[in-house]
Structures are given as C-alpha cells and as structure tokens.
Structure 1
Amino acid sequence: MDSSATRTGLGDVHQHGLNEDCNVKAGISDGQDEKSEPDISTWSFPPPEVIREDLSKEYTSEQKEKVWTEAADAVKASYDQLLGRWKEDMDTLLVYAGVSSAVLTAFNVESYHLLQPEPSDPTLAVSKQISAQLNGYTLTPPFLNATHHTGPVDLAQALFQAPASAVWLNTLWFSSLVFSIVSALLALFVKQWISEATVGGTSLESARLRQYRLNGLRKWHVGAIVVVPPLLLQLASVLFLSGLLILLWTLHSAVATVVSLLVAFFFTFFLVVTILPAFKGDCSYRSPASFAIYAVLRVARNEVMWVLRGIAKWIVKGSMQWAMWIDVHRARFDRLGHFAYKAYDNMPTWRGRDQNEIYRHHGALNRAIVTSAYSTTADTKFLASMPVIFSDLPPDQVGECFADILGFMEEEWGHWHLPDRLLLEDSITLPLCAVYGIRHMLARSDKGTHNWFIDVHNIFRHFFIGDAQTQQLAELACKSLCHLAVEDRKFRHAYGLAFRTLERMYDMQGARHNYVTLLHAKAMYEVEMAAWDPSGGFRSFRDIAQACYVLLHCLRATVSGQSQLSPAQKNTLFAWGQQQLPRLHEWLRDLEWAGLHKGCLAIPGDAAAVLTFPHIASHHLVRHIIDPLIALSSLPGGHELVSGELVSTVERAWSSARVAYPDSVNEDAAFVWSSGLDQIDARLVELRKIHEVSLHWVSPLAIHD
C-alpha cells in the first residue's frame, strides 16, 4: 500500500467522500481484495483503534526520538538555569546576611542596656537618702520642724521607665536582627530545596523526574519564597539605619544632621530604583521588591477597574429609560458602553508586560541583535551578513542599523572617523552593506520625509569608494545611487556619489556594465540635463559637466564591447547616444559664461570661486568633457558619435570662457596644477588630432550588421 494512503482520516472523508483507503483501514470483512473497489453499502468510519494505529505510523521512531530529545534538552537547560540562578542568589544573600547579623549583634549588645535601670551604687544611695531626709524638714525660727517622715530608700525597688528613644532604638535594631537571621534561615532552606530538586542525566526517565520536580516547584510557589529573603534583608537595613538616626539625635544634633542627610539621600535613591521598574518595563533596576510593588499595584488597579466597569455596566443597562436624555449625550454613553463591555486594559503580569513590550518592539529588537553582534565583537563578518536580514526588518529599522553602527564606531574610533582596517584592508564590506541599505530606503513609502532623510544621511556616512570593488558592489552602487539621485534632486550628495561610482568603479577599476545599470545612469543624466539652470553659478555648471560625463561614459561603455549587452541593447543605446550628443553640442554652444559669473556672485561666500572661475571651468571641461570625448573617439565606432562640429564647439566654448574671464591668477601658483588650466590647450589639440584620425575607422555596428 502507498504510504500516503495510510494518512486518510475523518477530514479526508469529509473532503473527498468515500475513499478506498478508509475501507481498507476500517477492517471490513467483505471478502474483497485490498486493492478491489470497496462496497459502498457496508462502508463506515474507522474505529478508534484503527485511527490510533494510523496515527502511530504517521512519524518514524527517529522523528519522535528527535522531538523528545530536543524538548528534554530545552527543559533541562531552562531548569538548570533557574536552579543555578536561585543558588547564586542565595549564596550572595547568606554572605550579606552573616555580615549584617554580626554588625547588628554588636550594636544590640550595647543598646539593650538602655532598657534597664542603672546598677545600685552604695555611696550614691546614701547621698540620695540624706537628700531626701533634708527635704523633709522646714526651718521656722527658732524651731526646726519635720514635715514628713522619710524612710529608707530601696533603689532596687524604685520604679524605672526607659526613655522613648531607647524603646524605639531597641525595637528597630532587634527587629532588624530578627529579619536578618530569618532571611539567612530561609536562604539555607532554599539551598536545601535546590539540592533536592537537582536532577542530572538526559534520558527520558531523567526528563520525567525533572519535569516532576519542576511541577512541584511551581505548585508550591518556591519562586515566591525565593523572593522573600532579599526583601527581609532590605527591610533589616532600613530598620537599622532608622535606629541609628534615633541614637544619633539623642547624642549630638550636628552629627545626626549630617548622617540624616546621607541616609535620606540613599533612602531616596533606593526608593527610586525600587519603584521605577514597577512603572517602566525596560528599567534594569529590577529586584524582588520591585516585583512585589508591581504585584500589589496590579491587583489593586485591576480590582478598581473591575468595580468601575461594573458601575458602568449598571449605568448603561439602566439608561434605557432615559432615552431622550441619552440622545443628547449619545457620544458620552457610547464611550461609557465601550469602557464597560469592550475595553480591555487590565495590567498584565510581570512577565506578561515584558512579552507585550517585546512584541511591540520586535523589529527594533531584531535589529539590535545584529548590530550588537558587530558592536560587541567588531567582526566584519556581521557587517557582511547584515544585508541578508534587512528584508526581515521593518522598513524604518534598516536606517537604525546604520545609526547603531555609527554610534559604535564613534565610540570606538572617534567622531567622523572610520577604522583604518575598514578603509584599507576591507573596502567592500561596509560600502556593500550601505548600498543595500540605500535600496531598502528606496523601497520605503515615506520617501522625502524628515525621518527618511535622516536615515539616508546615516547610511551615506558608511559609503565610500575604496581601491577595490566587486561586480556586485559596482552594480548595486550604480543602480541605488542613480535612483536616489533622481528621486530627490535636492540630495546632491547622492548625485555626486553616483557620478564618482561611474568614474572610479567602472572607468578606473574596470567594473562591467549591464543594460540595467546603463539605463539607471541614462535616467540620471536626463534628469540633470533637464534641470539646467545658469543662475546656479559654477555649481550648476559642475553638475551639467558631470552629466555630460555620464552621457559619454554610457556611450563609451556601449561601443567598447566590455559591457554585458546584447546586440539589440547596443543598438538601442547607440541610437540614444546619437540623439543626445546634439544636446551636448547645443548646451556648449549656447553657454553664457557671463551668466555663470553672475550666478557665482549671487551665491554668498563664493568670492574665491569667482576669482578662480577659469580654473574651475577648465577643470570640468578637461575632466568631464574633453577627456571622455578623447576616450570615446579612440574607440572603434566612437568617431561616428563625435562629430567635427562638436569638437569645434568645445574649442569655441573654451575660447569664449577665456575672453569672458581673463586669468587673474599667476599660472605659477600651485592651484593651477590642481585644475585643468595648464593642460586644456594640449588636450584640445589631442582631441582634434584623434578625431581626424578616427574618420578612417569602421563602425562596429556595421560589422555586426
């Protein structure tokens, strides 16, 4: 029989009707062969023993053993951890209880004398007798009269009344001693219970015994008793300090004042750290006293809310006779009815509150697990694996991952400083993690908001272009940064990084484009060209010059044969480039250099840029237009895109710039060598020469055809 046929049950009968396998498992004696058609008239549901037999065969013995072993191991780990924590707490408590009892005993030995009369002194007794007798005479000259008879004074039998301060002092200190000793005794009992409850072994018999002991610990509330000794010790400390203050106030007010201030400060501190966990679930000052306070508050509040709900129900039920008045106050009665019957705001248990907070903040906790793994070990493997779990986090937590990493780095290495080993030894892990983060930012629904901008800014602080790259990093950086630059043009940092990614990772480090990455770069170029604004000054000129570089970069990647493109994709991008180069030609031809100068003057703080504008212009022309044109013209097929008219326009544009802004900076200055002013003329000559030579080359598209 097929193994699947043994899993037919009551649900399958309801779903599929009469089933052959059910008849076979029912054990019907109809004389039919197992594989023959069942007799519908004699079919019935399988009896319980057949169902039990069927269920027993559902899983193999190995699967069952694995489940039992895993469950037993989990219970053992939790059980051993519980007993170990209790034992450690009791050991610590016994040490403190011993010290506390010794100190209290030393004080109590001296304090109990204050409750007794002073011992009799013969000399003192005679003196008191003489004084009493003298007080019994009156002098009335010339007679000395005895007004009353004074007998012998028995000082031992005289009534003695201890001062109130001594009574309070001894009451507090002896009560403190009792609490301290009782806490020690309870701790000893708990240690004995732990010893008896300890169960070793991993067999099934040991697991049963362990579970039996665990059930007993829960049934007899051992956990609640474990909480009592620390509470008694804390109470003993409070009583001792209170008695100490009473003693000092009877001896010296100055000393008592200083000690009272100290005790008040520490009492306030202890009271605050004890009460806070009862109201703040994430507070780490948890103690048995905090648990006791929370339990009392929970019971009191829930009972009060139960009474209030009962009153609200009574009001709602009896309000039907007040129909007209209720219509006027309908909203209030609706809220009252919701409170009485639907609202659920009972305080959870101590552990239930933690579980609620964990569920409410599970995304942040998941994020903290991963970032803490890196911050506690500084192992970059956790950075490398972090993008794997980005999709499992809430969208807003991805940016928080980088805020955590940034906080750790600033704490370890200083503000705005990345560790050298990330910059020099590993220039891939952190940038790759950052571009994954940027892609997740692009998938968020709150793009453009303040929080989104902050998250993106935190991520960008982790992205850098090192000396090494991978194809995966280059591709993701190109797509993510170009997309982000198009999404928000105000975020110019994204545009600058996208441009440098194309320049360094692809042109300098040899990464290979595919059709998708080229389309992302193409989209960024088109958005930048459409946003050209001469009033933006040299910044706008820089952005458009970089956009021209992106255009020429895409064309060079298309005709070079190094990109992963099909013939159809090459033809599409080649045709697009032929349409866009006239746009570049038109921009250079109509460029108003004087307008750029005015734009520079309109930007506060850019006076130095105005003075050195020829250097800025030559730098961008050489780096972003002339050199890329030379590289494109040097490729087979590139000369068809770079026309002689375009080369002439570039030459005329530079001539117009020199006429509009004569160089006012000494060419021997060091600044010249960081611009293109010292080489632009030679590069223009080289561009013209390469273009003339390339006129004799054959188009690669013609070869493909």
Structure 2
Amino acid sequence: MSSSGTHTSSKSLNQAEAVQDGNEKACVAQVVEKKDTEQEPEGDFSKWTFPSPEVIQEELSKEFTHEQKEKVWSEAAEAVKTSYDRLLGRWKEEMDTLLVYAGVSSAVLTAFNVESYHLLQPDPTDPTLAVLKQISAQLNGYTFTPPFLNATNTTAGSGNVTSVPFQAPASAVWLNSLWFSSLVFSFAAALLALFVKQWIYEAMVGGTSRESARLRQYRFDGLLKWRVGTVVVVLPILLQLASVLFLAGLLVLLWTLHNTVAAIASVLVGLVFTFVIGFTLLPVFKSDCSYRSPASFAIYTLLRYTRNTVFRAIRHLCKVIYRRCTQGAMWLDVARAQFEMLGKFGYNQYDNMPTWRGRDQNVIYRQHDDLNRRIITTAYSTTADKKFLSSMPVIFSDLPIDQVSRCFSDIHEFMEAEWGQWHMPERLYYRDAITLPLCSAYGLRHILARSDKAPGWTDDVEIVFRHYFIGKEHTEKLAELACKSLCQLVVEDRENPNLYGKAYRTLECMYDERGARHTYDTLCHAKAVYEVEMAAWDPSRGFISFRNTTQAIFILLHIVRHTISGQSELSPSQTSAMLAWGQQQLSRFHQWLQDLEWNGLHKGCLAVPGEPAAVLAFPHIISRYLVRNLIDPLIALCTMPGGRALVSEELVSTIEHTWASARLAYPRSADADARIVWCTALDRIDARLAELRDIFSKD
C-alpha cells in the first residue's frame, strides 16, 4: 500500500512538473514573441531616422569576431615578413657578389697602379746620363796646342743638370688619374657594400606577433623612405664606372706624379668619405633612417653620454650657485632667477634622450595607427593578393576612422604605380566585381560612423568612393551595404553629385536586374534619397534637375515594386505602411507632371542653346529619361500582381500629355545640317506609351 501510494505520488509529481515545464516554456515563448514584436518596426516613418554614428560604429565593431581579426593580422604580418625577408635576402646576396667582384677589381687595379705610378717620377738613370753627356761635351771643348791646353767650351757645370725640373708627360697624368680614380670607385663600392650588409643586419626582425609586425613595418617604411634600394642599385654602377675608367686608362701611355692626379684623387676620396660620414651620422639624428651601422650606434651612444654629462654638470653648477645665493652672496642674488631657470632646464633635459632602441619604440608608439594601417596595405601591395583586399573590412574597426580612408589612398597609389591611372587590370572590374566594391562599401560605412564630421570628411568620402564600381556580380551583403551607405551619403553630402548617380545605379543594377532582396532598412534609405531629390527640384537648373527628379521618381517606383513583390524582407505592417506612403507619392508624382513646363529646360544642359541641333537633341534626351525612369518602371509595376491598382489611368494620360507638350515645345522640323542628331530610337517612347495604355485598356 505504501509502495503503491509512493508510486502514485511520484507519477503525480512528474505530471505536475511536466505541466509546470510546459507552462514555463509557453511563458518563455510568449516573452520571446513579445520581445520580437517590440523590436519589430511598426512601419511608422516618423520614428525612422538614419542610424547615428555611434550605432554604426557599434554595428561594425560587432560584425567580425576577435578570432577573424587576429587571423587577418597574422596573415598580413606573415605576408609582409615573407616579402621583407626576401628583400633583405636579395640585397644580402647582391652585396656578397659585389664584395667579391670589388675585391678582385681592386686587386687587379692595384697591380696595374703599382707599375703606372712610376711614370709620374723621373727615371733614376736620367741624371747619370745627363752628367756623362756634360762631361763628354766638356772634353770635346778642349784643344791641345803644345805647349798649351786651351778650353774653348763654355757650357755650364753639372749643377745645371739637376736644376731643370722633371715634367711628367700628359699621357702619364691621364693614365694615373683614370686608374687611381677607378681604384677609388672600386674601393668605395666595397666599403659601401659593407655598410649595406650592416644595415641589413640591423633591419632584420623576427616573429609574426603584432609587436614584431609593427617593428618590421617601421623598419620597412624606413628602408623605403631612406632609399636603401637606391644605394644598393648605385653600388654596381660604381663598379661599372671603375671598369670603364680602367679600360680608358689602358689607352694612355705615360703618367707621372702630378698635382692634377693628387687633386682628382683627393676630391674623389673626399666625396666618398663625405657619403660615409653622412651615412654614419644620419641614423644618429633620424630614428627611421635605415643606414644603421655599428659606427652609428657608437656615435649615438657617445652623443647621449656627452649630452647627459653636460646637463648633469649644468644641474650641479646651478645647484652650487643657488646655494651660494641663499648663503648671502649678494652679487649672485641678481641673477638668481636666471640660474634657477637654467637649473630647471638642465633637470628637465637630463636623461630625456632615449636609448638607441628606445627611440624606435617611442616613434612606433606615436605612429601606432599608421603602422597598423600600413601592415595590411603593404601585405596587399607586395603580393597583389586579393585575399588581403577582401580581409581589410575585418580590421577597419580596429583602426581610427581617418585611417580607413588612408587605406584606400595606399591602395590607389599601389594600383597607379603598378598598372597606371587608367589601366587597372580587367579582373578588378569583370572577373572579380565583389572584392573591391565590398571593401569600399565598408569604408564608406566606417566614414559615416564619424561623429565629428570635421571639415574635409567629404574628401575622405571621395577617396573611398572612387574605388566603388558596379560589376556583373553582387552579393546580398554588398547590395545592402552599398544601398545604405550611398543613400545616407547622398543626404549628408549634397556637394558630390556622383554619389546620387551611383546610388541610383546600385538600385537599378543590383536590385532590379540581379534580384537582390530589400529589407525595411534599405527601403527606408532609398525613400530618404527620393524625398531629398524631389524637394530639390528646380526648373531653373534645366535638364540636370529634370534628370535628377526623374531618377528620384524611378526610386519611388522601385520602392513600390519591391514592396509588393513579396521578395523583400518586410513584415505585414511594414508593407502596409510602405504602400500607403507609395500611393501618396504617386499622387505627388502626378502633380509634378501636371506642373511641368518645358520652355527653356534645354538651356541648362546643351552647349549651344538656341541652335537647331540643340532643339532637336533635347526631345531625344527627354524621351530617353521618360522611358527609362518613368514609363518602363510603370509598365513593370502595372504587370505585377496588385500593381495595377496603385496606378491611376489619369497618370498615364498625364504622361502622354507631357510627351506631347515636349514635342510641341521642341518640334521635329529643322534644317538639313541639324538632322544628324535626330535618332530613330525617339520613336520608342511612342511604342512604350502604347504598351502602357494597352495595360489599362484590357481592364
């Protein structure tokens, strides 16, 4: 009985727990459903606004995980390390080869110069021969007439033989000048090659951590800035020049020790040592200079020690003088304030000169953001691998916003240097129409995250925007980012007309032609652009304003079509609100057509207003935009389920009347010379109007 009761109680308890769990799950489901309902926009346009910079910043920072960012940084650092090590290795091999050649060249030149410099000295046998000739001449001057010996020769004594200075032949001077110059160039090349090997050793950085990557990027930027590659290129030229001089010297026969030779050799040696001193001292005063060597390190250390010693002495001297002032030395009390200031100066300046390695870390700390940017852009510029281009948006949120536009400046500089300004590789436009546009769309999105909008932010927009293009492919992410970013920029940056044209083309190509799906947010962005452009209608601006307004109407019809298509990600309430707004704006569109006056519109767009050619061309331009932006979108809307009910027949009649008024304002007749601008495609508008009319006549 007890066992049965226990079993029954246990079963009842289990049932009660099951019921309780069910109730809890139901409550949780209701809470979740309620939460979703609260978060779902109700379609109230008065509450919708563009996201604030802080919201955009938070959205972008959460889009990629920490692991994704670290992977991008690691890959970029590894790519830069590979390229950097390959560059240093190549330079090291070149220096090894150059040293071997310079050694052989110097040895050969030395052997020749050992023999050639004798040509610059008088022959040791020449004085002896001169004395013998003098004695012979004197003997020939004696005549013997017994019992007398008469001397008839009045030639001067032997002392005159040595009074004549030795004059080296010009050929000997040129020979030795060329050969000794060749030897100087060969020796200079070998000496500078040793310097380059020292610079390479100092520039080596191991590891792929973020700290090592920044140090390597700092070193790499220094190599580029101080043109170490140029020095490496110059050294073989020096050896080549040495060879040319040596061959030229072989054509010369005689040389002698001469002031000209000494002057030429001294100037060349002085220049070589000037460069050596400059290469040694520049790293002492410029921390990013890549001409580093043990001699530079020694000089910097000595300079730092001397500087600290001097300031230590100034501090000590000022301390003694200040103590004397306080002990009653009135003659010092007058300059007490000056000595106190000098002592403070010495105290502040003492030991503030960083160490050889410490100053690099100080500069790296100040250039932290620039170096981070250069790591990822250098990874792309040194490899041209698009994976680094596609991974840039991952780390944009780790960079200050102003560095994002600089990334695109680096990309543009690389592309211009690699392929030329107008010769980008076709794969960027045709074979891969996703990577660069998506990267630029992210860049524009990050610029919108700026909260300050300081002067010049539109320049950053232009830098990033010139990398955006519409190719033959798209993704949902690209379409969404491009639509939201471009539409918001159209509203915020009214000075850039290209933004509006590209936003219009993005909606037309990515959504209409290629089937991208709208969200409520992207439709609201497009709606904001439409309202701004409709409000900007100004007949005095002529054709430009007419074109922009018809494009805005195209955006209106685009929004309505995608709302009723059922493919957009909209809730029922959002769909209803969007359609109600669309019907109101269609009435506004109808009223705009009724108020439109054609006279004078062409003057704002045609180069030669009043000419017959201009009069003829304008109806053709008008018809093109009427078909493309108004009639074709209306036909597409009316052929969709539910679309016919949104368009009134009066609107179609107004469009027909508008075209008829344009034809009357600018008649087709003109002289024969102007008819070359008339296009038979003008008749297409009549066919499209007839097709639109047929849709209503079938009802």
Classify the TM-score, shorter chain.
Answer: 0.5 to 0.7
Query: Is residue 600–residue 606 contact of structure 1 (8 Å, CA) maintained in 2?
Result: no
Does the alignment pair 1:672 with 2:682?
no
In the alignment, is the contact (CA less than 8 A) between 1:557 and 1:563 conserved in 2? yes
The partner residue of 1:396 within 402, 406, 425 is 402
Check whether the contact 1:600–1:610 (CA below 8 A) recurs between aligned residues.
no
Question: How far 1:685 sits from its partner (Å)?
Answer: 2.1
Structure 1 residue identity aligned to 2:463: N
8 Å Cα contact 1:312-1:339 kept in structure 2? no
The amino acid across from 2:356 in the alignment is: W
Alignment pair present for 1:642 and 2:647: yes
Which residue of the other structure, out of 449, 459, 484, is the alignment partner of 2:455? 449
Q: CA deviation at 1:119?
A: 9.4
Q: 2:490 maps to what in 1?
A: 485
- Quick check: 1:251 aligned with 2:270? no
Q: Tell me how far 1:471 sits from its aligned partner.
A: 1.0
**2:468 counterpart of 1:463:** yes
The question of whether the paired residues in 2 share the 8 Å contact of 1:384 and 1:430 is answered with yes
**Matched residue, 2:303:** 297
Alignment partner of 1:382 out of 377, 388, 409: 388
Aligned to 2:368: 362
Q: Distance between the aligned counterparts of 1:650 and 1:88, measured in 2?
A: 76
Whole-angstrom CA distance in 2 between matches of 1:440 and 1:641: 38
**Mapping of residues 539-618 of structure 1, within 5 Å:** 539-600=544-605, 612-618=617-623
1:418 Cα deviation from its structure 2 partner: 2.1
Q: Is 2:520–2:574's contact at 8 Å kept on the other side of the alignment?
A: yes
- The answer to whether the 8 Å contact 1:484/1:494 transfers is yes
Cα 1:648–1:123 shift into 2, 3 Å: closer
Query: Which SS does the other structure have where 1:472 is aligned?
Result: helix
Change over 3 Å in CA distance of 1:90–1:428 after alignment to 2: closer
Q: 1:681 aligns with which of 656, 680, 686?
A: 686
Matched, 1:653 2:648: no
| Structure 2 counterpart of 1:456, one-letter code | V
Q: Equivalents in 2 of 1:334, 1:642: separation in Å? A: 88
- Give, as a single letter, the amino acid of the residue that structure 2 aligns with 1:436: Y
The 1:496/1:88 distance shift into structure 2, 3 A limit, reads closer
| One of 522, 525, 533 as aligned partner of 2:527 | 522
Per-residue deviation, residues 506-525 of structure 1 (Å, max 9, x unmatched): 11111111111101101111
Which residue of the partner structure matches residue 515 of structure 2? 510
Match of 1:436 in 2: 442
Question: Is contact 1:535–1:598 with CA below 8 Å preserved after alignment?
Answer: no
1:272 and 2:289 matched: no
How is 1:171-320 mapped onto 2 (pairs within 5 angstroms)? 250-253=257-260, 255-256=261-262, 258-259=264-265, 261-308=267-314
CA deviation string 1:90-139 (max 9, x = no partner)? 998799678768866886799899999979988888999999xxxxxxxx
Q: Greater CA deviation, 522-531 or 100-109?
A: 100-109
User: 1:59-114 CA deviation, whole Å, 9 max, x = no partner?
Assistant: xxxxxxxxxxxxxxxxxxxxxxx9xx999999987996787688668867998999
8 Å CA contact retained: 1:588, 1:649: yes
Q: Relative to structure 1, is the Cα distance of residues 309 and 522 closer, same or farther in structure 2, using a 3 angstrom cutoff? A: farther
Inter-partner Cα distance in structure 2 for 1:588 and 1:334: 83
Letter in 1 for 2:637: L
Under a length normalisation based on structure 2, what TM-score does the superposition of the two structures give? 0.62
- Indicate how the Cα distance of structure 1 residues 89 and 425 shifts in structure 2: closer, same or farther if over 3 A, else same: closer
Name the Cα RMSD after superposition.
5.6
Which secondary structure state, in structure 2, belongs to the residue aligned with residue 654 of structure 1? helix
Deviation at 1:620, TM superposition (A): 1.1
Alpha carbons 2:405, 2:464 under 8 Å: kept: yes
Identical pairs, percent: 55
Residue of structure 1 in register with 2:412 after alignment: 406
Q: Give the superposition deviation at 1:266.
A: 4.2
Q: Counterparts of 1:4-403 in structure 2 under 5 Å?
A: 250-253=257-260, 255-256=261-262, 258-259=264-265, 261-308=267-314, 339=345, 346-403=352-409
CA distance in 2, matches of 1:487, 1:333: 59
The structure showing larger relative contact order (alpha-carbon pairs under 8 Å, at least 6 residues apart) is: 2
Give the counterpart of 1:415 among 407, 421, 424: 421
Asked whether 1:663 is paired with 2:643, we answer no
Matched residue, 1:47: none
Size of the alignment, in residue pairs?
530
User: How far has the Cα of 1:350 moved from its partner?
Assistant: 2.4
- The alpha carbon displacement at 1:256 in A equals 4.9
Query: 1:285 & 1:388 partners in 2: Cα distance?
Result: 36
Distance change >3 Å, CA 297–CA 466, structure 1 → 2: same
Change in 2 beyond 3 A, CA 1:280/1:645 = same
Pick which of 285-294 and 521-530 moved more: 285-294
Structure 1 residues 627, 606: CA separation in 2 closer, same or farther (over 3 Å shift)? Answer: farther
Distance 1:272 1:545 in 2: 66
For structure 2, the 5+ residue unaligned runs are: 1-87, 138-158, 160-179, 195-254
- Structure 1: which amino acid aligns with 2:284? A
Q: Which residue of 1 aligns with 2:168?
A: none
Query: TM-score, with normalisation over the residues of structure 1?
Result: 0.61
